[in-house]
């Protein structure tokens, strides 16, 4: 039962390709809701096919927020997302409608529902490049050990193989003088949230991923990436390192064949699904898990309505 002193928030999460988009839309249609995207890939205009962005028809069925809100060279960070998501949720409540926070970016979802205090550090590209050059000399593992000296808590939460997060943590520390782990400190939480997770058997999920990748290719993913490059966006942009875009750039630049690029997209997507599982654990008592089968929308609606009564 919701804490009536706090604002209700429905969270729908799960791995990529599990079916979050359509299920969330159906629930929002039934419950006078609006959707706030918590998928970091959907912020950017012109990156539609490779991100499996909700179609214009889907977005007409239910209002969506935080989609197509930035250009590919305007990198959004966690602090910006958190600020904008809170504003969107507040706006939805002001219309007496129910907000649905939907996505697969675990860090972004947890930042909202756990009310993290996120350091508002602006990207420091020069420092980032210097840290990346340093990592090339001392290895990513060596860079991670340096992070552990400065912020052991942050280092314990970051996989030593994840150089991007290691670099970002050091960038924040060196830019602000604050430990990166302060983002895990919590502010008073204005929301009472119910969190619903979607799952499928892993073989079924992988088959859906393969089908989605083929659909992207049939829908002109190569042409979408080529158009971004022709508009002058650098292939080295962080946004264009996203799964699908990085591989298609390699193909367009002649560094791989199309078949090699497709195989790499599939491999990276499977690895991404495994990383998502680290954020969305099946034994988490705060997540109500649902198998995606016939009738799942009815089941989820019943749980939400019972929670709201």
pLDDT tens digits for 243-266?
999 999 999 999 999 999 999 999
In a domain, residue 17? The reply is: yes
b/e burial code for range 88-109 (CB count within 10 A of at least 16 → b): bbeebbeeeebbbbbbbbbebb
More confident residue, 188 or 90: 90
Which residue would you say has higher pLDDT here, 112 or 188? 112
2 occurs within a structural domain: no
The residue count of the chain comes to 309
Contacts of 51 (CB under 8 A, 6+ apart): 39, 41, 42, 44, 242, 244
Do 177 and 150 lie in one domain? The reply is: yes
pLDDT at 153: 87
Mean pLDDT across the chain, nearest whole number?
Answer: 92
Query: 151 and 212: one domain?
Result: no
Q: What pLDDT does residue 180 have?
A: 81
Task: Give domain status of residue 174, yes or no.
Answer: yes
For 151, the domain range is 125-182
One domain, residues 164 and 39 = no
At residue 17, does pLDDT exceed 80? yes
Q: Average the pLDDT over 168-196 and give the result.
A: 83
Query: What letter does residue 188 receive in the DSSP assignment?
Result: P
pLDDT at 118: 72
| Residue 1 counted as domain residue | no
211 lies in the same domain as 197: no
At residue 125, does pLDDT exceed 90?
no
73 lies in some domain = yes
The reply to whether 149 and 291 lie within a common domain is no
Looking at the predicted structure, is the pLDDT value of residue 122 above 80?
no
The verdict on 228 and 215 lying in the same domain is yes
CATH code for the domain of 170: 1.10.20.140
Element (H, E) at 212: helix 202-218
The DSSP call for residue 281 is -
Could you tell me the CATH number of the domain that includes residue 299? 3.40.50.300
Query: Which residue is listed with tokens 């490779």?
Result: 50
Kindly report, residue by residue over 198-225, the tens digit of the pLDDT. Answer: 999 999 999 999 999 999 999 999 999 9
Residue 153 lies in a domain: yes
Specify if 52 maps to a domain: yes
* 184 — pLDDT class (breaks 50, 70, 90): low
Instruction: Summarize pLDDT for 269-296 with one digit per residue, the tens.
Output: 999 999 898 889 999 999 999 999 999 9
**Residue bearing the bigger pLDDT, 11 or 276:** 11
Q: Residue 2: is its pLDDT beyond 70?
A: no
Report the number of distinct structural domains present in the chain.
3
Would you say 43 and 123 are in contact if contact means Cβ atoms under 8 Å apart? Answer: no
What is this structure's pTM? 0.84
Share of the chain above pLDDT 70, in %: 96
Same domain, yes or no, for 75 and 196?
yes
Report the greatest alpha carbon distance in the chain.
Answer: 59
Say yes or no: 56 and 78 in one domain: yes
Contacts of 92 (CB under 8 A, 6+ apart): 33, 34, 36, 65, 98, 99
**Alpha-carbon distance values, 30 to 101, 120, 239, 293, 304 (Å):** 16, 37, 34, 18, 11
Residues 160 and 217 in one domain: no
**Residue 192 counted as domain residue:** yes
């Amino acid at each position: 039962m919701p804490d009536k002193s706090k604002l209700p928030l429905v969270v729908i999460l799960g791995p990529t390709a599990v079916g979050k988009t359509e299920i969330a839309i159906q629930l929002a249609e039934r419950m006078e809701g609006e959707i706030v995207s918590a998928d970091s890939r959907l912020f950017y205009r012109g990156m539609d096919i490779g991100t499996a962005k909700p179609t214009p028809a889907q977005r007409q069925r239910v209002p969506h927020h935080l989609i197509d809100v930035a250009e590919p060279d305007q990198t959004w960070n966690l602090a910006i997302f958190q600020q904008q998501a809170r504003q969107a949720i507040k706006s939805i409540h002001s219309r007496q409608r129910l907000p649905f926070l939907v996505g697969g970016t675990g860090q972004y979802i947890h930042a909202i529902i756990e009310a993290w205090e996120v350091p508002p550090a602006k990207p420091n590209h020069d420092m980032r490049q210097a840290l990346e050059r340093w990592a090339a000399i001392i290895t990513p593992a060596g860079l991670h050990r340096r992070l552990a000296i400065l912020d052991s808590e942050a280092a314990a939460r970051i996989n030593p193989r994840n150089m991007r997060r290691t670099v970002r943590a050091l960038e924040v520390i060196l830019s602000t003088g604050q430990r990166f782990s302060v983002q895990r400190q919590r502010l008073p939480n204005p929301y009472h949230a119910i969190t619903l997770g979607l799952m499928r058997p892993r073989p079924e999920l992988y088959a859906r991923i393969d089908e989605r990748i083929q659909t992207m290719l049939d829908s002109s993913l190569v042409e979408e990436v080529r158009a971004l490059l022709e508009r002058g966006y650098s292939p080295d942009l962080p946004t264009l390192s996203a799964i699908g875009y990085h591989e298609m750039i390699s193909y367009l630049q002649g560094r791989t064949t199309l078949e090699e690029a497709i195989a790499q997209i599939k491999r990276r997507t499977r690895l991404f699904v495994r990383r998502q599982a680290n954020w969305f654990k099946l034994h988490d008592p705060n997540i109500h898990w649902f198998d995606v089968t016939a009738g799942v929308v009815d089941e989820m609606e019943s749980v939400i309505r019972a929670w709201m009564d």
